[in-house]
Amino acid sequence: MTITKRIATDVGGTFTDLVAIETGPEGMKITTAKSDTTPPNFEAGVLNVMAKGNIDPKDVDFMVHGTTVVINALTERKGVTVGLITTKGFRDTLEIARGNRPDFFNLHYEKPEPFVPRYLRAEVPGRMTYLGAERIPLDLSGVPDIVDNFRAEGVQAVAISLLHSYANTAHEEAVLAEIQRLWPDVSVVASHQITREWREYERSNTAVLSAYVQPVAARYLGNLDQSLREKGLPQSPYIMQSNCGVDSLAATSAVPITMVESGPASGFWGAAELGKLIDEPDILALDIGGTTAKCSLIEGGEVRIMTDYWIERSRKSAGYPIMVPVVDLVEIGNGGGSIAWVDDFDKLHVGPQSAGALPGPAAYGKGGTNATTTDANLWLGRINKDYFCGGAVDADMDSAGSALKAVGDKLGVSTDEAAQGIVRIANNNMVNALKLVSLNRGHDTRDFTLLAFGGGGAMHAVALGQELQVKKVVVPAAASVFSAWGMMMSDLRRDYFVTQLADLSEGSAMGIEAVFAKAEVEARATFKAEGVDPAKLTFLRYGKFRYQNQEHTTEVLLDGTVTDGALSKIADDFHGAYEREYTYRLDAPVEMVGIHLVARAEVGKLEMIPAPLGDADASEAIKGTRDVDYALEGKHLATIYDGEKLRAGMAFNGPAIIEDPGTTVVIHPNNTVSIDAYGNIHILLEGQS
């Protein structure tokens, strides 16, 4: 049996991470490494981290790469100048947007600026109807002038978005061909290449943002591929996507916008895969990093993928829509570095401002004077002050103490109470985010396992789990590099969303089946062109349904071919799913609004190898004891365990703390802990068995 070597590299804002896993007759060997991110030549950082981890590209059988290049180019406005071609009468769609004022009492609200100014938004005559019929023929006679003007204005990428192109792509295809003919070397994208769903503002903005980042991302991926191949990497890396799958480097270079939320997606996919591995298919996944916490719900081992994704959207701003498949997640500004502050009216808040890497929490001793969640966790003994950041940083407890005291003074409470307050507020913010993806959608949290990862996940997980009364809490092995592990578990995956209205009544099945069949043919052709064995390709079919006259849809998983005989079961499934989410059902006609087809193929996914379960006695992993303040449950003497010495089969009870170089697991009194065959930590809450 040969050794297979898989690696995942992840380029973040500060660090580039590497995880390598070798599987072979000896079992599994996991290596991690970290080095600085190297803008603007990011590929250098990737090669550096591989060298640091002693990885020779020649030996790598399968490589996945994740990057924040797209989201960074968008938020830092570092894309290229884009020209937009749209339907006559709709030049201003991008600027009109949806007209909403989320910050409604603020009369000085500032509407987000469009990414393309008016003088670079051009129109072509021609109209399709919503049924996909041509109403007014396309007139391309103005396109040469448009192209000349775009060139003169320094346009580097062109986006095309025409009305009703989701229903009929012919006009967009014709404009696309004309641009390619007149200006062969320009980067160009038409909206239908990214999405086949309706809503012209959302689709146009998606095409524009994709064009905006395309040259930047293509250059990045091209350089990365070339550097790695020159060093002997046998096949191009796969690129992590926002839909929890990976895609080929070539396909991603053409439409890079699909990478926009790839960072969180890999962690949530890891959560789904880990759930299957440990027989817990229903998971509440929580990822707590330095500045934010993100959560997502996984049901039956499946993540939920949606196309209602916005950047820079908040209670203060309308943001910008990107209509691509993105894992359904809620993100809040609450991480380890989130700053605690007291407002003018003596109310305590935590986040969304973060102390970042510099100066970082006060305890970093780098001049930070603001108390952060990490400082509070240190002060309460939850984090070991003598093993801060895995021993890499000397905790500056004086700075942490005075920062916390300042918060306490403003509130009129002791430093201890201030630290407890910060942890409780942070926990409450996270509980509310977890409720948004669970209770608010009709899911009972008692049926779910809370899986916590990221640097800070394990510190708060038990408190959150107790509040939500989850089934149990699981902290994965190597929780701090869990996202990279998730990448290695990903399939080559594409999500096809197509808007297609159809009544759910006798005789309509054939039309619905045809939409799925057409999308499947398209998917097969695309996968085949990339050399994927057709036998490996599998599909999941979802229909998007609603009661007639409603707008928002509920997604229902369909089983096999859509026939007239199957319609009543589909309707029943819809009524059931609707009632669970909204508490009632109606005796009204049901209609389909569109399809969501998932096409995926395994391309080198990691197979985990269980270790034999050993003795339950965990005493050899004990480092000592210390007082830990559990906030609501008060102070307790906790046993401290060395996470690196925990072995499959070990078991013990709380109060306890598990310390690992990357994370700290806080085990509350009355919790029971066991280590499974993959090194994951299972925590049962009080009264559970």
Partner 1 sequence: MSDPITLEIIQNSLQATSDEMFAAMRKTAMSSIIYEVLDMGTGITDAQGRIASSGAGIPAFIGVLDKSVQFILSKFGDDIKPNDVFITNDPWHGGVTHLNDLVLAMPVFADGAIIAWTANIAHNSDVGGMAPGSLSGDATEIFQEGLRLPAVKLIREGVTDQAVMDIITCNSRMPDFLLGDVWAAIAAVRIGARRLEDLSVKYTPTTFKAAMDSFMDFGEKTALAELAKLPKGTFELSEPQDDGCTYNVKVTITDDEFIVDLRDNPTQDKGCTNTSRDGTIVCAQMLFKSVTDPETPANEGAFRPLKVLTTEGTVFHAQEPAAIGFYFETEVRVYDLIWRCLAPHVPERLPVGHFSSICGTFVGGTHPDTGRQYTIIEPQIGGWGAWEGRDGNPCIFSGFHGETYNTPAEISEARNGLFIDKMELNTAPGGEGEFNGGRGLVLEYRIRTKNGFLTAGYTRSVVKPWPLDGGEEGSGNFIEVDKAAGEREHYAFVSGLDLTTDDVVRVITSSGAGFGDPKKRAHDAVALDIKNGFITPERAREIHGYGE
User: Smallest distance, Å, CB 393 to partner 1?
Assistant: 29
To partner 1, the closest distance from the beta carbon of 501 in angstroms equals 7
- For 39, phi then psi, to 5°, come to -70, 150
DSSP of 562-605: --GGGHHHHHHHHHHHHHHHHS---SS-EEEEEEEEEEEE-SS-
Residues 6+ away with beta carbon under 8 Å from 323: 194, 195, 197, 199, 202, 203, 205, 206, 307, 308, 309
What minimum distance in Å lies between the beta carbon of 209 and partner 1?
18
Of 135 and 181, the one with the shorter C-beta distance to partner 1 is 135
Q: Which is nearer to partner 1, 7 or 122 (CB)?
A: 122
Closest separation in Å from C-beta 244 to partner 1: 24
Nearest distance from residue 432's CB to partner 1, in Å? 5
- Residue 339 and residue 400: Cα distance in Å, rounded? 12
Closest to partner 1 by CB, 12 vs 126, is: 126
Q: Which is nearer to partner 1, 172 or 396 (CB)?
A: 172
Q: CA triplet 612, 286, 276: central angle to 5 degrees?
A: 40
Residue 526: DSSP 8-state: H
How many other C-beta atoms lie within 10 A of the C-beta of residue 122?
20
Least spacing, CB of residue 543 vs partner 1, in Å: 17
Distance CA 290, CA 484 (A): 17
378 DSSP β-pair partners? none
Tell me phi and psi for residue 186, to 5 degrees.
-85, 150
What is the residue type of 299? E
Distance CA 166, CA 498 (A): 7
Q: Which is nearer to partner 1, 165 or 258 (CB)?
A: 165
- Which one-letter amino acid corresponds to residue 189? V
Q: How far is the CB of 104 from partner 1 (least distance, A)?
A: 3
Across the strands, what pairs with 349? 341
| Nearer Cβ to partner 1 (344/607) | 344
Minimal distance, residue 319 CB to partner 1, in Å? 12
Contact 336, 253 (CB under 8 A): no
Question: What is the C-alpha separation between 399 and 362, in angstroms, rounded?
Answer: 5
C-beta of 250 vs 311, nearer to partner 1: 311
Report in angstroms how near the CB of residue 668 gets to partner 1 at its nearest: 18
Q: Shortest distance, CB of residue 119 to partner 1, whole angstroms?
A: 5
Cβ at position 499, least distance to partner 1 in Å: 9
Q: Which of residues 105 and 689 has its CB atom nearest to partner 1 in the complex?
A: 105
Pick the closer one to partner 1 by CB: 428 or 653.
428
82-87 sheet: strands from edge to edge: 121-124, 82-87, 157-161, 187-190
| CA-CA-CA-CA torsion sign (380, 381, 387, 390) | negative
Give the pair of three-digit tokens for residue 105. Answer: 């009492």
Alpha-carbon distance 222 to 307, whole Å? Answer: 27
| Sheet with strand 4-11: strands edge to edge | 27-36, 15-24, 4-11, 62-67, 238-240, 246-247, 492-503, 590-601, 537-547, 554-558
Comparison of 463 and 681: residue with beta carbon closer to partner 1: 463
In terms of Cα–Cα distance, which of 665, 666, 684, 664 is closest to 674? Answer: 684
Is the CB of 8 or the CB of 209 nearer to partner 1?
209
For residue 88, the minimal CB distance to partner 1 (Å) is: 8
- Amino acid found at 239: I
* 19/419 with CB nearer partner 1: 419
